[in-house]
Structure 1
Amino acid sequence: MKLKASLVLAFGLVAGMAHAATELVIATVNNGHMIEMQKLSGNFEKANPDIKLKWVTLEEGVLRQRVTTDIATKGGQFDVMTIGMYETPIWGKKGWLQEIKTDAAYDVDDLLPNIRNGLSVDGKLFAAPFYGESSMLMYRKDLADKAGVTLPERPTWTQVADLAKKIHDPKNGVYGICLRGKPGWGDNMALISTMVNTYGGQWFDMKWQPQLTSQPWKDAITFYVDLLTKYGPPGSSANSFNEILALTNSGKCGMWVDATIAASFVSDPKQSKVADKMAFAQAPTQLTAKGANWLWAWSLAIPAGSKKVDAAQKFVTWATSKDYINLVGQTNGWATVPTGTRKSTYANADFLKIARFAKAEKMAIDSANPNDSTLPKSPYVGVQYAAIPEFQAIGTTVGQQMSAALAGQKTVDEALKASQNVAERQMKKAGYYK
């Protein structure tokens, strides 16, 4: 009996140890909000002692490549992966993702409708938003005041260029405007696509024919190259979010159109020398307001083949909950919370007291419409991208061409013609048309 009891006890201990060793491997992007999530995840492990978290933190481009390869090949390296609004509907339709199951406490109806819809397929949520964003204009109000210019809530690109000309003062270390120039479908093309939209353009017409040599593309790219060549910082073709954030925080950018998430950084006196001088407006329009501001959410998803679905669901719901946002606010201050996901964040008095940008940010997110983002009718969903598998390769190549045009290595017409050829080849190969 003693031996039997010992065996039962030993078996129970081993089983308990095995249970305690449930390890979730989480692939995430190397940015401030995600780094903070890792620091605070000890709270989750304390509340769930049977779950241990292992982090794989990667740069954006590397992350996309790794998680795409893993999910397409059913590699099973990750139990939770950080993906965006581009991948979620495509992978959800293919059956590559687990549906996110939430309880009443999670309050899925508190999610901002545009963000929730962008991460759903047929009404089912396939990724939970960690932070959401649109794009907006951030500018030095002191410089605009000095120039005698008052920008409206939603300016045109022409108005932006006029102000850039007036405040451009490189001798004193101030450039009229800073915009992304670094190539990438989610980098310079995120901004450029919204510009093209406002000029009345689109990526593909209703027959899936690429439109890169159309007049709206020519007008938008000519304007973009001219604007940055005249009033941007030198080397703009290499600048992405982080480079421009550093320039803005040091007072060198008069204006910047980029992700709304940047507003919390440029208005933070701990990070920005000009925090008290920054003002916020909607992303610029031109011929139309359709597709002027992008829509994105970095989100947590669970691969369909995961063997640890229950534990993964627990973590995903914890990291994207109201409680997590409150934890960040109480631990690090309300200026640092991940925004753009929940209605309750924008109803929180502590957050609103600190976040001068909150109204403009929410307006931008609410007004973005991935289902109707172009003046002519388009066959694709997405504001700053087309949600088809082929877009990633097309957008990356076009981004390289646009960067070359900005650097003066090609004319705008040459860059657009090369882009059109690549896009046509890819779309024919994929069978969209003959």
Structure 2
Amino acid sequence: MRHLKSTRTALCALGALLAGSVLSSAQAAGTLTIATVNNGDMIVMRQLSTEFEKAHPDIHLNWVTLEENVLRQRVTTDIAMKTGQFDVVTIGNYEVPIWAKQGWLTEIKPDDAYDMNDILPSVRESLTADGKLYALPFYAESVITYYRKDLFQKAGLTMPEQPTYDQIRQFADKITDKPNQVYGICLRGKPGWGENMAYISSLANTFGAQWFDMSWKPTLTSDAWKATLNWYVSALKADGPPGATSNGFNENLALFASGHCGIWIDSTVAGGLLFDPKQSQVADKVGFAPAPKGPYGKGPTWLWSWSLAVPVSSHQSADAQTFITWATSKDYVKLVAARKGWVAAPPGTRASTYAAPEYLKAAPFASFVLNAIKTADPNGPTAQPRPYTGAQFVAIPEFQSIGTQVGQTVAATLSDQMTVDQALTSAQASVTRALRQSGRAR
């Protein structure tokens, strides 16, 4: 367990370092306070932002880099209360349309040089409300299956062009080697609407489950939800790493990159890190395939973009828009490529990135990711009619709260505090209460 613990310790130390000091509500004139998540691409943005400050000597950048759940809590509180702590916030296509309609975000109007037509249509549309743009995409993602080709070869396994979840479970069983700290499968277990519930909601779709029926009644005690959660819990207990409830995207990325995971189903954005020999010990051993299919075999498909937006409460909106335009531009992509290599270029947003021969050569996953994002359909069909949209989230304001609450309940099944049936019964009751209190359901 020594290597596993050292991996986690290093990751926690990095997060603590990046979190920085507690910010005060008053910032000096000319200082932009930027709230962002501690993902690898954002760390690169922070490192390269000195180039922005050189080009704009009158603008100083103050970074607040936080773990995903903490970021969402801090940003939501600040933007809803309009306290003006942040001039730039990192949010996704869940928040953008909801917060824009609340009047919390500044409309973004890039000039012609920015080339909005270069942004992939599915990503661009997810950041608009009533025909107006309210954020610029830093990177975009869908979902993918990563696996260790060497472990598959050793076990005599072949990854199908389109795996099923039954097959993934069989593969994970065969490549798990716990005495050597190699775990057959790594999945998000950390509670949070954008952590474990992002993956589990996506899993539920392809198992034929959904959050609500057309009357906004939760369906969390359905047979399809039970099958979903039973697969998830049994797979992680049999073949997953210890302490799975502490593992979100970043923790699983660290585990896979350090050789501790055989299969990982998660965001396409991890490809740029896993295939980079500077950051991954298994860069030459990674294979990839589409996300597995469950019994239903269809369902809405994952589309997410971490994007930069400007709250209406910012007192330096013009400077903030100047920064987010720079950080999401073609020139920024080229800057990353020059400093970090083309494999590290922010993925999923610009057609020009995928037209660059250097990127296609450096990133073997590029065409797969491009197709996954182009064809991602968060509005796709569920097994039964539904009153909401979204694949790995439900596009209603209440989901941030109920998703996190259910995520905590689901995590209890991994630590044997609840059975699957107990967890789903508890989740059904809590979500029912929440929607009645919000007035959405009777």
> Aligned-pair RMSD on alpha carbons?
1.7
**Residue matched to 2:191:** 183
- Offset at 1:99? 1.1
CA offset digits 1:240-270 (Å, max 9, x no partner)? 2232222212222110111111122222222
Task: Give the one of 426, 430, 434 matched to 2:434.
Answer: 426
Which secondary structure state, in structure 2, belongs to the residue aligned with residue 360 of structure 1?
A: helix
How far 1:292 sits from its partner (Å)? 6.5
Worse overlay, 43-52 or 181-190: 43-52
Of 288, 291, 304, 1:296 maps to: 304
Give yes or no for the alignment of 1:386 onto 2:394. yes
User: How far apart in 2 are the matches of 1:141 and 1:186?
Assistant: 29
**Equivalent residue for 2:21?**
none
3-state DSSP class of the match of 1:261?
helix
Task: Give the conservation status (yes or no) of the 8 Å contact 1:283–1:293.
Answer: no
From 113, 116, 119, give the equivalent of 1:111.
119
Aligned counterparts of 2:53 and 2:299: Cα–Cα separation in 1: 41
CA distance in structure 2 between the aligned counterparts of 1:188 and 1:30, rounded to whole angstroms: 17
SS in 2 for 1:402: helix
* Range with bigger deviation, 282-291 or 151-160: 282-291
> Does 2:361 match 1:361?
no
Alignment partner of 2:218 out of 200, 210, 219:
210
How far 1:151 sits from its partner (Å)? 1.8
SS in 1 for 2:142: strand
CA distance in 2, matches of 1:147, 1:201: 33
Which secondary structure does the structure 1 equivalent of 2:193 belong to? coil
User: Which of 230, 233, 247 is residue 238 of structure 2 equivalent to?
Assistant: 230
Select which of 21, 27, 31 maps to 1:23. Answer: 31
TM norm structure 2: 0.90
In the alignment, residue 404 of structure 1 is paired with which amino acid? Answer: A
Equivalent pair of 1:180/1:191 in contact (CA under 8 Å):
yes
CA, structure 1 residues 284+293, in 2 after alignment: closer, same or farther (shift >3 Å)? farther
Higher Cα Rg, which structure? 1
Q: Deviations over 1:337-380 (max 9, x none)?
A: 11111111111111111111212222222232122252322222
After TM superposition, which residue ranges in structure 1, 4 or more long, deviate above 4 angstroms?
Answer: none
Give the Cα–Cα distance (whole angstroms) in 1 for the partners of residues 165 and 44 of structure 2.
36
One-letter identity of the residue aligned with 2:179: K
Alignment match of 1:145 (pick from 147, 153, 156): 153
TM superposition shift of 1:418: 0.2
SS of 1:323 mapped into structure 2: helix
**Could you state the TM-score of these two structures normalised by the residue count of structure 1?**
0.91
Mapping of 1:115-130 within 5 angstroms?
A: 115-130=123-138
Correspondent of 1:240 among 235, 240, 248:
248
Secondary structure of 2:234's aligned partner = helix
How far off is 1:22 after superposition?
2.6
Classify the secondary structure of the residue corresponding to 1:275: coil
Give, in angstroms, the shift of residue 148 of structure 1: 2.8
Give yes or no for contact 1:373–1:383 (8 Å, CA) kept in 2: no
Which residue in the other structure is 2:177 paired with?
169
C-alpha distance in 2 between matches for 1:416 and 1:292: 22
Structure 1 residue 146: Cα displacement: 2.8
Distance 1:315 1:306 in 2: 13
Distance in 2 (CA, whole Å) between partners of 1:79 and 1:240 is 27
- Distance in structure 2 (CA, Å) of the matches to 1:143 and 1:57: 35
1:399 is matched with 407
Cα separation, 2, equivalents of 1:373 and 1:393: 24
Alpha carbons 1:284, 1:292 under 8 Å: kept: no
Equivalent residue for 1:374, pick from 382, 407, 413: 382
The aligned amino acid for 2:177 is D
Moved more, 234-243 or 212-221: 234-243
| Paired letter, 1:365 | I
Q: Decide whether aligned partners of structure 1 residues 305 and 247 sit closer, same or farther in structure 2, where only a CA change above 3 A counts.
A: closer
Matched residue type, 2:259: G
Asked if the contact 1:218/1:413 (under 8 Å) is kept, the reply is yes
Q: Which amino acid aligns with 1:427?
A: L
Distance 1:351 1:74, change over 3 A: same
The CA deviation at 1:281 is 0.8
Q: Which amino acid aligns with 2:67?
A: E
Deviation of 1:196 after TM superposition, in Å, equals 0.3
Identity of aligned pairs, percent? 58
The question of whether the paired residues in 1 share the 8 Å contact of 2:300 and 2:377 is answered with no
For residues 34 and 373 of structure 1, do their structure 2 counterparts lie closer, same or farther at Cα, with a shift above 3 Å needed? farther
Q: Which amino acid aligns with 1:218?
A: K
Q: Hey, what's the Cα distance between the residues in 2 that align with 1:152 and 1:401? A: 33
The SS at the match of 2:431 is helix
- 1:209, CA displacement in angstroms? 1.0
**Among 283, 295, 301, the residue aligned to 2:291:** 283
Q: 1:409 to 1:325 in 2, by over 3 A?
A: same
Deviation at 1:62, TM superposition (A): 1.9
Residues 113 and 287 of structure 1: CA distance in aligned 2, closer, same or farther (over 3 Å): farther
Report how many residues are paired: 415
What amino acid maps onto 1:362 in structure 2?
A: L
Corresponding residue of 1:133: 141
Contact 2:33 2:86 in 1 (8 A): yes
Distance in 2 of aligned mates of 1:172 and 1:432: 50
Give unpaired runs (5+ residues) of structure 1: 1-19
Secondary structure at 2:238 match in 1: helix
Cα distance per residue 1:206-236 (max 9 Å; x no partner): 2111111111101110111111112222222
C-alpha distance in 2 between matches for 1:82 and 1:173: 35
Unaligned runs of 5+ in 2: 1-27
Aligned-partner residue type, residue 124 of structure 2: R
Indicate if the aligned counterparts of 1:285 and 1:292 stay in contact, CA closer than 8 A: no
Going from structure 1 to structure 2, the CA distance change for 1:326 and 1:288 (only over 3 Å counts) comes to farther
Aligned 8 A contact 1:67 1:81 in 2? yes
Shift of 1:289: 4.3
Shift in CA distance, 29/238, structure 1 to aligned 2, threshold 3 Å: closer
Q: Equivalent residue for 2:81?
A: 73
8 Å contact kept, 1:199–1:216? yes
Q: Give distance in 2, aligned partners of 1:149 and 1:49.
A: 56
Distance 1:262 1:372, change over 3 A: same
Check 1:416–1:21 CA distance in 2 against 1; reply closer, same or farther (3 A cut). closer
Shift of 1:23: 2.5
**2:264 aligned counterpart, secondary structure:** strand
Q: Which residue of 1 aligns with 2:208?
A: 200
Cα distance in 2, alignment partners of residues 401 and 158 from structure 1: 25
